[in-house]
């Protein structure tokens, strides 16, 4: 299955989250003849991860390949969220071009800026695909103008600014060069990729060089390396060596060589320079290392990614309910799992602390760390995490903090509340555009710590009708301290089971996070107070049975709906001196100061 290097195209698909990358890949797979006529094909085929399907976002970059007119097109689907920018950065070195997908209605958004900036830094010339033009009230030409403005803003050169663009719909399965022309297939996009993306640069006569960009695992093959062959030829059974980060060599043999065809990996005998392959044969591998010829080992430059901006402390669970729900609960198991994550998650950092059961974990944002926490709890891990903190840096002897670009799409009635809330959090408005449907788009630059806990406030201010997205912009001098408003919390006074009677009597104190029958312990946060102070409550007291009235006489009473405390909401809500207890079955908030008295 070896292809001539001139008949290969390597392309990454980049876009803002939810602009239709994965759906577009579905259309390319379907129309390239990859599937049989009677084959059942899943939607969003590349979103194979359980969390990706639940949330409708791409978290991990994926590889696939299609053949069109004897040309092999290797496609890499990348995450759209800036928190997973490490995934984008490491795969862009595998490709020679990129397809920038932009929503015809929304135009470029914060993550569009982020992923496009990375592509332009790699010297790639993007093809722009204006997606979802079959929706009502869209302005595709305006979207192209906005993309050009973004190219100029990011310092693109003349060749990059003269980008080719197409219009179409990934869901509808069509692409066209003019908005008003008629077409019902993806042929124009396939032809644009073959015409505009250059063939890979590489020499089959040079010694083998393959860079590790993705790692996978198989119960049968062990660690699977995915990467691009930069030079030489790679063969099944070939003797090779792995050049480690520190320059040391580890000799080995290619036990299995795999190529990509649609959604499948197929066994191949050899691949040439320019192709993207998967191979097994080395166990301890890190992303960025080089698989090379043992006779002439020459390393490729290591992959560099942006540093993390947010930090949390992962702690062994020591609450009264510790060890009751989780399978992995010890500090050794927690440390081993975090170290395993470091092998594949290039944007993550894990550091030991002065305590053996506490680990400092740094990532790109709340979503980046939240996905790691959710993955671990589903695997059976039980632990605690602290409030997220931004990572300050000293640049030219000035204390600097991460700043983000924030875009809000809100109803007109909510504009004042959003501007006031962000003003308190040191947000600076950059732009304001009013649409035709009584909605307004607000653009801010705001310190990252100003966004911690903002999402819940934003949902309340817009009554759930607002849309917000943000991405890392740059480091700027610190704006100093500012008040991050939040009411006090309601805390359980004792260990036991929450009763309807006690919750009903305490309803006027605030809003609860729990329902009757929930198990609680002393120091556990059970709700939000209406006042700024924290308040301890006894919510385990049952109504006494008397001769006059039975204990169940008030069962027709209704409790107000509790706040559903999801993992993301809990991470945003948690404050100083509080911890989030995470188990496979539960998410609980607790006060730290109470744990010594339990």
Q: Which residues are annotated as a binding site for GTP?
A: 18-23, 131-134
Sign of CA dihedral 585, 84, 316, 512: negative
Is the separation of the CB atoms in 404 and 473 below 8 Å?
Answer: yes
What's the Cα-to-Cα distance from 361 to each of 244, 301, 449, 455, 532, rounded to whole Å? 24, 26, 17, 22, 30
| Residue (of 233, 247, 230, 234) closest to 286 by Cα position | 247
| Residue (of 9, 10, 13) closest to 26 by Cα position | 13
Helix axes 140-153, 110-121, angle to 10 degrees: 50
The enclosing H or E element of 145 equals helix 140-153
What's the Cα-to-Cα distance from 296 to each of 42, 207, 240, 299, 409, rounded to whole Å? 44, 7, 10, 10, 56
At 54, phi and psi to the nearest 5?
-65, -45
Which residues have CB under 8 Å from 588's CB, separation 6+?
319, 321, 524, 525, 580, 581
The helix/strand/coil state of 507 is helix
User: Binding site membership: which residues?
Assistant: 18-23, 131-134
| 115-124 residues labelled b (16+ CB within 10 A) or e (exposed) | bbbbbbeeeb
| Residue (of 19, 201, 24) closest to 124 by Cα position | 201
Q: Which residues pair with 588 in a beta bridge?
A: 581
Q: Which residues pair with 420 in a beta bridge?
A: none
Is the separation of the CB atoms in 490 and 512 below 8 Å?
Answer: yes
């Amino acid at each position: 299955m070896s292809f001539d290097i001139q008949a290969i195209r390597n392309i990454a698909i980049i876009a803002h989250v939810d602009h239709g990358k994965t759906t577009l890949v579905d259309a390319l797979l379907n129309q390239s003849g990859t599937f049989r006529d009677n084959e059942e094909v899943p939607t969003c085929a590349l979103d194979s991860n359980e969390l990706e399907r639940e949330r409708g976002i791409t978290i991990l970059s994926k590889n696939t390949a299609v053949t069109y007119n004897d040309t092999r097109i290797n496609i890499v689907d990348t995450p759209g969220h800036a928190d997973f920018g490490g995934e984008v950065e490491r795969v862009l070195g595998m490709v020679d071009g990129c397809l920038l997908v932009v929503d015809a209605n929304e135009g470029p958004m914060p993550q569009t800026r982020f992923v496009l900036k990375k592509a332009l830094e790699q010297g790639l010339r993007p093809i722009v695909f204006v997606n979802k033009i079959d929706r009502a009230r869209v302005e595709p030409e305006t979207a192209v103008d906005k993309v050009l403005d973004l190219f100029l803003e990011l310092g693109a050169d003349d060749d990059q600014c003269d980008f080719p663009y197409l219009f179409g719909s990934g869901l509808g399965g069509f692409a066209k060069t003019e908005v008003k022309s008629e077409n019902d297939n993806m042929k124009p996009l396939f032809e644009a990729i073959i015409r505009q993306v250059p063939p890979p640069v590489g020499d089959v006569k040079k010694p083998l060089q393959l860079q590790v960009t993705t790692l996978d695992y198989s119960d049968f093959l062990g660690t699977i390396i995915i990467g691009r062959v930069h030079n030489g030829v790679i063969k099944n059974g070939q003797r090779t060596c792995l050049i480690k980060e520190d320059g040391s060599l580890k000799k080995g043999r290619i036990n299995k060589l795999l190529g990509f065809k649609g959604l499948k990996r197929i066994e191949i005998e050899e691949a040439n320079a320019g192709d993207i392959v998967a191979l097994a044969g080395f166990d301890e591998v890190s992303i960025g290392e080089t698989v090379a010829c043992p006779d002439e080992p020459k390393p490729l430059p290591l992959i560099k990614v942006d540093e993390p901006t947010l930090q949390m402390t992962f702690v062994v669970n020591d609450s009264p309910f510790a060890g009751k729900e989780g399978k992995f609960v010890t500090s050794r198991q927690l440390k081993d799992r975090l170290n395993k994550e470091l092998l594949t998650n290039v944007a993550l950092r894990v550091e030991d602390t002065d305590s053996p059961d506490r680990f400092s974990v740094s990532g790109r944002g709340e979503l980046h760390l939240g996905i790691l926490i959710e993955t671990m709890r589903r695997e059976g891990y039980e632990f605690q995490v602290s409030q997220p903190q931004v990572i300050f840096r000293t640049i030219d002897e000035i204390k600097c903090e991460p700043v983000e670009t924030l875009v809000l799409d809100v109803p007109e009635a909510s504009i004042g509340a959003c501007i006031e809330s962000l003003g308190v959090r040191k947000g600076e408005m950059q732009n304001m555009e009013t649409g035709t449907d009584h909605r307004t788009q607000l653009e801010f630059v705001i310190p990252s710590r100003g966004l911690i806990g903002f999402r819940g406030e934003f949902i309340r201010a817009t009554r759930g009708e607002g849309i917000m997205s943000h991405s890392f912009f740059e480091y700027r001098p610190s704006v100093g301290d500012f008040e991050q408003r939040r009411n006090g919390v309601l805390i359980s006074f004792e260990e036991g089971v929450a009763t309807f009677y006690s919750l009903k009597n305490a309803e006027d104190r605030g809003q609860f996070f729990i329902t009757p029958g929930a198990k609680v312990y002393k120091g556990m946060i059970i709700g939000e107070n209406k006042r700024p102070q924290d308040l301890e409550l006894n919510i385990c007291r049952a109504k006494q049975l008397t001769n006059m009235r039975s204990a169940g006489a008030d069962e027709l009473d209704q409790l107000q709906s509790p706040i559903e405390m999801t993992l993301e909401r809990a991470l945003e809500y948690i404050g100083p001196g509080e911890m989030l207890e995470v188990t496979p079955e539960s998410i609980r908030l607790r006060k730290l100061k109470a744990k010594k008295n339990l």
